[in-house]
Amino acid sequence: MGQGILSVYGGIDLNRYLEYFVNTMKSFNPVHLKNNPVMFITEIAFLVSIYVLIFGKEYGLSTTGNYVPFYVAVLTLLFLTIFFSNLAESIAEGKSRDITKSLREMKKETVGRLIQDGSESMITSSNLRKGMIVEVRENETVPTDGEIIEGRGRFNESSITGESRPVFKVQGDSVTGGTTIIDGKVKIIITANPGETFLDKMIGMVEGATRSKTPNEIALSILLSGLTLSFLIIVTSMFSLEIFLTSQANIIFLIILLICLIPTTIGALLPALGVAAINKVSQFNVIAKSGRAVENAGDIDTIILDKTGTITIGDREAFKFYTNRGLRDEEFFTKCYLSSMYDETKEGISVIKKVKDLNHIVLDEEVKGYEFIPFTSETKFSGVKKGNEFIYKGSPNAIWEIVGFRDNFIDAICAEISSRGGTAMVVTSNTGVEGVIEFNDILKPWIRERIDSLKSMNIKPIMCTGDNELTAKYVAAEAGIDEFVANSKPQDKFRKVEEEKTLQRMVAMVGDGTNDAPALAKADVGFAMNSGTQAAKDAANMIDLDNDPTKLMDVIFLGKQILITRGALTTFSVANDISKYFVIIPAIFYVFPYLSFINILGFTNPLLALTSALIFNTFIIPLLIPLSIRGVKFKPSGVNDLLRRNILIYGMGGIILPFIAIGAIYYILAGVGVAW
């Protein structure tokens, strides 16, 4: 809590200071503060105090002697209370403006090679429209968002993600305008009109994040409004008490009392908390479409994870070929090559590479005339076809359906591969079952630790995989996951999301394909990859620029931290306010002997006691700004442990600190001769 504001962001130049100051002063506009009832009342109190200072004499109030410095001190403290609240929001929004600025700098007018009616022409990116096809060649910039329909290549996406390592993309992957293809050549179908690109949406998301409120923020705002209104009524009613009517400083006295009673601490920090939440997510290279998505991440009970790329490394490569009995290896290698020669997926490319590594040569005449049959999540096989001749590779169950029987020898090999966590793909042709390709995909080394952390927070992980029951069981056991869905299809993911939501659980899932879109839209947190299809990105409420599915777990941890930060500051604020009541009220009524037993700090000057409380009230806000923006330290644990920690640290701290601080301020002021 003692860290300076600058330490949150490192060095800040003079221009940044000036920007913060200007935006903070602009926020004094009552129109801006009307959405924050606590600070709105504080500003009204500030304006009334100015009026009393200027025109108080007309109402019989003393504006001479000791009361003038008293009025000035009160005005200064009220001004600083509003200033520090606006400053907290200004710092948080400054981060949003930095993000927006960097995104706008990425948007550059580029030229693309339009392919139309068999000819090509150069066209600016602003004139490209959805459905047009462009070709991007080596070292050229992708003109706007699209999806690869032909070719493959490595892309430099550092302008978007900050990651210098190139990303290999194939048919079906999406690409973002402004990125560069390092090698290869692709044809792209445009998926967004000008103003609707991914960068445009990101800018809108970040800019919108500074203004929108989440349901929890709205609920907390209503609570704060209710408390403020209650204390406003109580303080107003004190005008009828003779003790205040006989005081020359009665109006100012009541103003200070009101400001000390209403929950100014959390009221001042609440806007900054909401903006900081979006900013913290963006620091992970994740764009949240709304504050509600971030809030939902903190409430997640169930997380649905794909096996490939999330729990395992994801780059499945052909590891070994198993030829069926009675066949020659060379014939099988050729069939493997033919089944994958048009397959632009990473698995297909790895099969071709493996065949070449075995020094097996496939003649040109052997590959002519074949038609490509692409893989789908429904059929679970791909390959080639020429007349009545076909060569397919796919999951064992899919191949057994094609051939109409189960080859026991090949089936035993598949079971052995699955038992050690590998993926088996059976190759078949019109002449029979040819053999098996084993693909290796290893567990991510830290996944078990992440899964254990999720469990410690009572979050249930569920693994979905297109692999068979045996492989799924092995991988789930290795990762520490108790529940899994094998032979999973897109509709199975959707059904699983629905099933969990009927149990009143908050569900998160990750996906990148068009078929994942329904489940992403149904989930409370839909986490899509930037490399995924446009449909997936539109359906999700969070998008990962780094295309790392495991980051969903980081976002959930971050969501928990954001909720805990808000809870910690609210706990501190409420405890802090309760303590102030027990400090201030006895001091006000110190003249009544029967109340002296609760005046434990021995205050005998009500005005000085209120001034001391107002000083504490004002300067606790800037001390908490770094904590509200940085967030409290988070360690994955159960709800009871988190609640206990909140109460012990922030609850007890909020109760004890005002007694110590206000008492110290009071006796310091009294010691230096302040007496009004």
The domain of 353 spans 317-440
Sign of the dihedral defined by the CA atoms of residues 536, 542, 544, 547, in that order: negative
351, 306, 302: which is closest to 467 by C-alpha? 306
At 226, is the secondary structure helix, strand, or coil? helix
Q: Do both 234 and 272 map to the same domain?
A: yes
How many structural domains compose the chain? 3
Write down the pLDDT at residue 57.
Answer: 61
| Inside any domain, residue 155 | no
Please state, in angstroms and rounded to a whole number, the distance separating the CA atoms of residues 590 and 607. 12
Write down the pLDDT at residue 135.
Answer: 93
Q: Do both 390 and 448 map to the same domain?
A: no
| Inside any domain, residue 181 | no
Write down the pLDDT at residue 166.
Answer: 80
Q: Do both 518 and 667 map to the same domain?
A: no
Name the catalytic one among 145, 173, 200, 306. Answer: 306
Q: Do both 367 and 247 map to the same domain?
A: no
Write down the pLDDT at residue 633.
Answer: 78
Cβ-defined contacts of 534-538 (< 8 Å, 24+): 534/145, 534/147, 534/174, 534/191, 534/192, 536/511, 536/512, 537/174, 537/198
Q: Do both 223 and 93 map to the same domain?
A: yes
Domain boundary among 412, 440, 468: 440
**Six token digits for residue 505:** 């659980």
Q: pTM of the full predicted structure?
A: 0.63
Please state, in angstroms and rounded to a whole number, the distance separating the CA atoms of residues 441 and 621. 51
Domain boundary among 545, 575, 596: 545
Please state, in angstroms and rounded to a whole number, the distance separating the CA atoms of residues 163 and 310. 19
Q: Do both 323 and 435 map to the same domain?
A: yes
| Inside any domain, residue 246 | yes
Q: What is the CATH number of the domain that holds 430?
A: 3.40.1110.10
Q: Do both 274 and 290 map to the same domain?
A: no
Please state, in angstroms and rounded to a whole number, the distance separating the CA atoms of residues 583 and 595. 12
349, 352, 338, 355: which is closest to 389 by C-alpha? 338
167, 177, 189, 186: which is closest to 143 by C-alpha? 177
| Inside any domain, residue 612 | yes
Q: Do both 575 and 666 map to the same domain?
A: yes
Q: Do both 363 and 431 map to the same domain?
A: yes
Write down the pLDDT at residue 299.
Answer: 85
Whether the Cβ atoms of residue 666 and residue 609 lie closer than 8 Å to each other? yes
**Alpha helix segments (H runs only) across 314-427:** 329-340, 346-357, 396-403, 408-419
| Inside any domain, residue 616 | yes
**Six token digits for residue 425:** 């793909």
| Inside any domain, residue 639 | yes
**Six token digits for residue 482:** 């108790």
| Inside any domain, residue 135 | no
Write down the pLDDT at residue 18.
Answer: 80
Residue type for position 12? I
| Inside any domain, residue 198 | no
Domain boundary among 440, 458, 483: 440
Give the model confidence (pLDDT) of 111-169 as tens digits: 888 988 878 888 888 888 999 999 999 989 898 888 888 888 888 877 666 566 787 78
Cα torsion through 592, 595, 599, 602, rounded to 10: 40
Averaged pLDDT, groups of 10, the chain, 676 residues long = 36 67 84 82 86 65 58 84 84 68 68 86 88 92 88 80 71 82 91 79 59 66 82 72 48 77 83 72 75 81 83 80 93 94 84 92 85 83 91 93 92 90 90 92 81 87 85 87 86 89 90 80 87 78 78 83 85 86 74 66 80 88 84 72 81 90 90 72
**DSSP conformational letter for 443:** B
Please confirm, yes or no, whether 306 is among the known catalytic residues: yes
Q: Do both 360 and 476 map to the same domain?
A: no
Write down the pLDDT at residue 6.
Answer: 31
Q: Do both 539 and 568 map to the same domain?
A: no
Write down the pLDDT at residue 624.
Answer: 87
- Residues composing the chain: 676
Residue type for position 579? S
Q: Do both 321 and 370 map to the same domain?
A: yes
End-to-end CA distance of the chain: give it in Å, rounded. Answer: 32
Q: What is the CATH number of the domain that holds 452?
A: 3.40.50.1000
